Structure 1
Amino acid sequence: MKNLIYFLLLIFGGVLVASCEKQEDPVVSFGEYSDIVVNGEGEFSSSINYQGVEVPFTQYYDDTQVQLKSVKVSIENFLLESTVNSPVINGEMLSASYVKVFKVNSEVKAYVTYNLSGSAHGGALVVLDLTDSENPSIVNEILFNDIDINVCEVYHAGKLMWLGGSSFKKGAVIIPVELDNKGDVVADSGSALTLDIITIKNVASVNGIKEAGDWLMVTAGNSGGGTFALNFKKGYRDDGTDYFSNAKFSATNGYTMGKFHVSLEGGKDAKLHVYRIGVNDTENETVISLGSLYHNVANEADMYSGKATCFMENDSRYCYVSMGASGFVAVDIFEQMVVLQSSPKLLNHGNTNGISVDDEYIYLANGADGLVVCKKPTITYGEDPVIVEPLYVWDEDIEDASANYVTVQDEYIFVAKGTQGGLKIIKRLFE
């Protein structure tokens, strides 16, 4: 495995750390992409339903489930503020894949990515204005005719974002997108739009992107992939690759030098690859075993191909990992051990596809089982991980509405769902 090398100016000498293994061929290539549709000024294929109604979360209690109907106990109340219906491309409805919430001055924006389910390719980016959280509005809608858009990352200073996905023609791609001072995409509705496109060669799909120092840490490919360190301040120079199969996702506990970046490797023997941002990984990379990361699917050949993510809070030592049919775990990256593990009661028919946390709760996108909320426990260090029980669960009785991803911002929960589910914006009415 080729070592992942971060090129940086060393504090004492300004000496570049170089890879000891020379690449014969460049890993990335560059070009332009123009097959793009920009909708605006109210002419969107996506739409918003403003519900503002209490939603029937169910509370787990021992081995039974009790419907939460009382409005007298505040802990039982959640509101479904809005549903953002998925955009349509070439007559097919897209599936929400990822959500990034970003504050730009006084503006709050949500960047929602979409892809086509199955083997077909097509995607979208929808930008929502959440400044009036009870009445979100669609600001931008950009459709990509032959590219699945799986994930995005916004530069910490704004004015730039990166889309990651899978092109029918090119494979794994990253697309830089310019943002204005309000966090909106710089594009005129109805006009032809040409964007730069960065291709990772011989890899099928970008599954995760995180800003880390001067680099984009790009996790890509079920085979032939790994984590790619692209120096976006040096023209997306390839500064090294850590090759491994079933490359799923990336997370960081901060974007500056010295913080930690992790990459998730799925498969029968799943692993968490831990790196120090701006440091040569031959001295600092650690690899933590997680067990088997697979999905319950109809076709066993696809059991290792499902969605999986990881999440770290700023400055935290804990990485939360969605583990498909195995629920989720939390890993102490310093002690290199699993410290939390989900209860066997967590899943019924679904798989844990996405995970996010805040100060009090753990939020899970559990596929066919919908959204599950767990109380965040106190972490103790014993022989076995602390078992986390599910607290609330919510889903709709709708087909093709699997929960794919979840993120939180203050008291709001954003759930990216399948074609018929769209994006759900849910408000938690308790601390």
Structure 2
Amino acid sequence: MKTKLIFLLVGSGLITACSPTFDSEESTEDKIVLEHNQEILNSRINYINKPLVVNNSGKAEIFDPEAKEKTAQSVSQTSTIENSEVLDHNWYFVAEVESPVFKGSKLSATHVQVVDDKAYVSYNKQGDIHLGGLEVFDLTNRAYPKLVSQALFDNADVNAITTDYQGDEFYRKIWLALSHKNKGAVVRQISLRDGLISNQVKDISLSKFTEGGVSASANGVVRSGNDLYITAGKTHGGTFTLNVNDLSFKNSEEYSDAKYVATNGSIPFASSVVTLVTGDSAELKVKPVGSESLSRSIPIGTAVHQNVELNYRGKSTLHFAQRHPETVFVTMGLEGLKGFDIYTEEEVFRTPDNILTKGNINGVTSDFDYLYTANGADGISVFNMPENPGELQSVFEWDMNEVPGSANYMTTDGEWIFVAKGGEGLKILRKGKLGEHQTLYGFDSKGVPHGMEPKNVEVCSELLPNLFRNVLPERSNVTVRNPEYFDNPNREIELLKDDKVYVTFISEGAGYRNTLGYYYYHKDNPPSQISDLNKVVIFPNASAKYSGGDLIQGNTMKLLGDFEEGTVIGFFVISNGWNGNKITDGIYTQYTIPEFNVSERQQSIVFYDEGCTSIVLAFEDIALPQGDKDFNDAIFMISSEDPESISTSDFIRK
């Protein structure tokens, strides 16, 4: 689809009788550029898909699995899979996204909201130039999130957004808090059609509802029930309430330096709305949702920023955590993060004094287990969700591999974590799920399965030499060197008669601690989707002794039960599935069925070694086209009690 330059007449709607009357001259012609060409949009995304590892000082860095060792490879990589701290969850650096460029100016990421499998990102242009944007990410593929839609706005910065929870990913309204070149603080309503940003746009100028003059900038927006709350900063600002159905004016409360707005409670109806007012005498303005009474003020001290041009113009936000609906977390810039009870007005949580060196805490978000903060030049921090009042307990800090970092805003839905970095774009992370994985007989603390065969299988002495010499040479691109493996459709094991099946560990050359498992189905009823698979883990930690695990060549597991004639057995590897004491969902799972892989490409090969009369299964754990493509990250031998039970005639023979 080609880029469309659309000139839209963006104006106000009818306002109810209790609202000031709109001047018909308010309507102006704004330029909006829509782009839905994914090839163009995704050229700005750099996919990383590597885990963060944390050293014993609580500092995180990216682990490079292509080093092929679970130990440090360079001075720059000091944390390793072997010596890293064992955390309850794993975090993965999925991708980084460059900011869009509009009219020769690089825009700055300002706000993100994740809803279902979509993320909505807003942009502005810092300084006196007014340019902005809105983008939509599709998060369906956990390794390769995609940009699917973009709108760029002339004359308007976008400072914050909120989405309509009554719609869905295909048809949804989004409300934008704007700083408009000509109209000052503006609320823009824009609609999605078929999941793409459409040309259905409506603007409401908040300055029409002030008595003293133009309100310069809208900087926060949130919905609760039928109310849409918007904050506008500087002079002639405050908190404004509109009706979400027609954007008619309901009421406002005017004061200077309003910075952000949030509500607590559950969707669709919250109980309290809170506005942050920044400066030397910062305060919270609190009142019940739906109330037209004046807010109650809670003094919270100083909210200013260090190492910025204007101390009062830094990013500040509010956040209610699911587990603490009575506490609003406030980013206080130089003063860190604080949590205030909106009923007792007491400070109940705060970050450690040493959390900042040169940065400011600008953003905060949470899931059920953790609090996350965006610390400006100091990167990001992760804290355990507190149980009791006091100082927050740090899990780790990450400088984002940048000096200085520039983390200005964060949001999470419990899995995806977006870090907005101003003009430097976005970093996309993902928290790995612990998952519930069925195993054969359980496992020990090193991920070695219980129930292994009492006697190790003797592996043919020529199997590995032949494999590394002729089949899978180290760091050799097998997709180029041996294309016949990828032309052959036979990638799984089919039984010609009833029998037992065994899997033997041969070797591994992975930087990750991977997890190997299997599934099975009848050849006449193949699975059509991943959810059709009944998956069972064989080796929770498929890593060799002295290489992150405790397996040795010949360790063998018998798969559960006797398999009937016509059964097809497939296999999967959870990339980085073992986190040191438990099985997780890792970065992604590679299946012997290519269509089920995040890359939608073949990530494993099966061949028959004629000299050793052995069936060999080998995986590439990093999703193609990334990785070294040598397919020797996890290597196993498949066997049955009767060698004639498994069909080998269609396998590549070496």
TM-score range for the pair, normalised by the shorter chain length? 0.7 to 0.9
Matched, 1:293 2:311: no
Q: 2:46 is matched with which residue? A: 49
Indicate which of 185, 195, 203 corresponds to 1:197. Answer: 203
Indicate yes or no: 2:319 matched with 1:311: yes
Q: 2:182 aligns with which of 162, 165, 169?
A: 169
1:281 is paired with a residue whose SS is: coil
Q: Deviations over 1:10-57 (max 9, x none)?
A: xxxxxxxxx9xx988879996355311111223338621111012465
Q: Is the 8 A contact 1:33 1:194 kept in 2?
A: no
- Partner Cα separation in structure 1 for residue 338 and residue 392 of structure 2: 9
In structure 2, which of residues 100, 104, 118 is the aligned counterpart of residue 91 of structure 1?
Answer: 104
Q: Which amino acid aligns with 2:97?
A: V
User: Deviations for 1:213-242, whole angstroms, at most 9, x for unmatched residues?
Assistant: 221100111222010011222x32222211
1:161-200 C-alpha deviation (Å, 9 max, x unpaired): 11112112221111101123x5x2343xxxxx46221111
Give the superposition deviation at 1:256: 4.3
The 2-side partners of 1:77 and 1:250 are apart by 31
| Partners of 2:78 and 2:369 in 1: CA distance | 22
Q: Is the 8 A contact 2:238 2:254 kept in 1?
A: yes
Q: Is the 8 A contact 1:328 1:352 kept in 2?
A: yes
Instruction: List per-residue Cα deviations over 1:103-154 (Å, max 9, x = no partner).
Output: 2xxxx10001111122222111110000112111111011112211111110
Matched AA of 1:303? N
Q: Which residue of 1 aligns with 2:349?
A: 340
Per the alignment, do residues 58 and 251 of structure 1 end up closer, same or farther by CA in structure 2, a change over 3 Å counting? farther
Take 1:26 and 1:398, find their aligned partners in 2: how far apart are those partners?
48
**What amino acid maps onto 1:35 in structure 2?**
K
CA contact (8 A) 1:214 1:231 kept: yes
Please give the alpha-carbon distance, in whole angstroms, between the structure 1 residues aligned to 2:237 and 2:381: 31
- Relative distance call for 1:27 and 1:268 in structure 2 (3 A) is farther
Match of 1:153 among 162, 177, 182: 162
Q: What stretches of structure 2 of length at least 5 have no aligned partner? A: 1-16, 60-76, 208-213, 435-654
The letter for the 1-side match of 2:81 is S
Q: CA deviation at 1:70?
A: 2.9
Amino acid at match of 1:276: P
Q: Does 1:402 align with 2:413?
A: no
Describe the shift of the 1:53–1:316 C-alpha distance in structure 2 as closer, same or farther (beyond 3 A).
same
Distance 2:300 2:251 in 1: 25
Contact persistence 1:36–1:144 (CA under 8 A): yes
**Deviation of 1:59 (Å):** 6.0
Secondary structure, counterpart of 2:196 in structure 1? coil
Structure-2 change in CA distance of 1:390 and 1:67 (3 Å): farther
Task: Decide which of 220, 223, 234 is 2:235's aligned counterpart.
Answer: 223
How far did residue 357 of structure 1 move? 1.5
Residues 60 and 151 from structure 1, CA distance in 2 versus in 1: closer, same or farther, beyond 3 angstroms? farther
Residue identity (%)? 32
Shift of 1:322: 0.5
Q: 1:95 to 1:199 in 2, by over 3 A?
A: same
Structure with the larger RCO, 1 or 2 (CA within 8 Å, 6+ apart): 1
Find the partner of 1:248 among 225, 245, 259.
259
Name the SS for the 1:179 alignment partner.
strand
- The answer for the alignment partner of 1:116 in structure 2 is 125
1:93-108 superposed matches below 5 A = 93-103=106-116, 108=117
8 Å contact from structure 1 (residues 59, 391) kept in 2? no
Residue identity in the other structure for 2:235: S
1:313 deviates by 3.3
Q: Is 1:46–1:84's contact at 8 Å kept on the other side of the alignment?
A: no
Q: 1-side partners of 2:409 and 2:56: how far apart?
A: 21
**In the aligned structure 2, how far is the partner of 1:255 from the partner of 1:243?**
27
The residue type paired with residue 37 of structure 2 is: E
Secondary structure in 2 matching 1:69:
coil
RMSD: 2.9
Go from structure 1 to structure 2 and tell me whether the alpha carbon gap of 1:204 and 1:401 turns closer, same or farther (over 3 Å shift). Answer: farther
Q: Give the TM-score normalised by structure 2.
A: 0.55
Matched, 1:276 2:284: no
Give 1:248 deviation, angstroms: 0.8
Whether the 8 Å CA contact 1:28–1:198 is kept in 2: the answer is no
Give the Å deviation of 1:377.
2.0
Corresponding residue of 1:140: 149
| Aligned residue identity for 1:327 | G
Question: Structure 2 vs 1, CA of residues 216 and 113 (structure 1 numbering), >3 Å: closer, same or farther?
Answer: same
- Return closer, same or farther for 1:30/1:360 CA change in 2, 3 Å cut-off: farther
Native 8 Å contact 2:93 2:429 kept in 1: yes
The gaps in structure 1 that reach 5 residues or longer are 1-18, 188-192, 381-385
Report SS of the residue matched to 1:34.
strand
Mapped partners of 2:244, 2:100: distance in 1 = 30
Q: Does 1:39 align with 2:35?
A: yes
Quick one: structure 1 residues 354 and 228, their matched pair in 2 at CA, closer, same or farther if it must change by over 3 Å?
A: same
Structure 1 123/46 Cα, relative in aligned 2: closer, same or farther at 3 Å?
Answer: farther
Q: Which amino acid aligns with 2:46?
A: N
- CA distance in structure 1 between the aligned counterparts of 2:158 and 2:241, rounded to whole angstroms: 20
Structure 1 residues 415 and 298 mapped into 2: Cα distance closer, same or farther (>3 Å)?
Answer: closer
Displacement of 1:281: 2.4
Q: Which residue of 2 aligns with 1:373?
A: 382
TM alignment of 1:417-428, pairs within 5 A = 417-420=421-424, 422-428=425-431
Could you tell me which amino acid in structure 2 is paired with residue 240 of structure 1? Answer: N
1:9 alignment partner in structure 2: none
* Alignment-mate amino acid for residue 117 of structure 1: Q
Alignment check: 8 A CA contact 2:115 2:413 kept:
no
Contact 1:46/1:87 (<8 A) preserved: no
Instruction: Report the equivalent of 2:624.
Output: none
Is contact 2:186-2:203 (8 Å) kept?
yes
**1:383 maps to which residue?**
none
Secondary structure in structure 2 of the residue aligned to 1:316: strand
State the secondary structure of the residue aligned to 1:403.
Answer: coil
**Which position in structure 1 is the counterpart of 2:418?**
414
Q: TM-score, normalised by structure 1?
A: 0.82
User: Residue 387 of structure 1 corresponds to which residue in structure 2?
Assistant: 391
Q: Secondary structure at the match of 1:140?
A: strand
Q: What letter corresponds to residue 288 of structure 2 in structure 1? A: R
User: Residues 55 and 85 of structure 2 are in contact (CA less than 8 Å); yes or no, is this contact kept in structure 1?
Assistant: no
Q: Compared with structure 1, are the counterparts of its residues 46 and 365 closer, same or farther at alpha carbon in structure 2 (3 Å cutoff)?
A: farther
Separation in structure 2 between the aligned mates of residue 61 and residue 392 of structure 1, nearest angstrom: 5
Once the two structures are TM-superposed, the CA of residue 93 in structure 1 deviates from its matched residue by: 1.5
CA distance in structure 1 between the partners assigned to 2:418 and 2:178 by the alignment: 21
Cα distance 1:59–1:411, how it changes in 2: closer, same or farther (>3 A)? farther
| 1:90 positional shift | 1.1
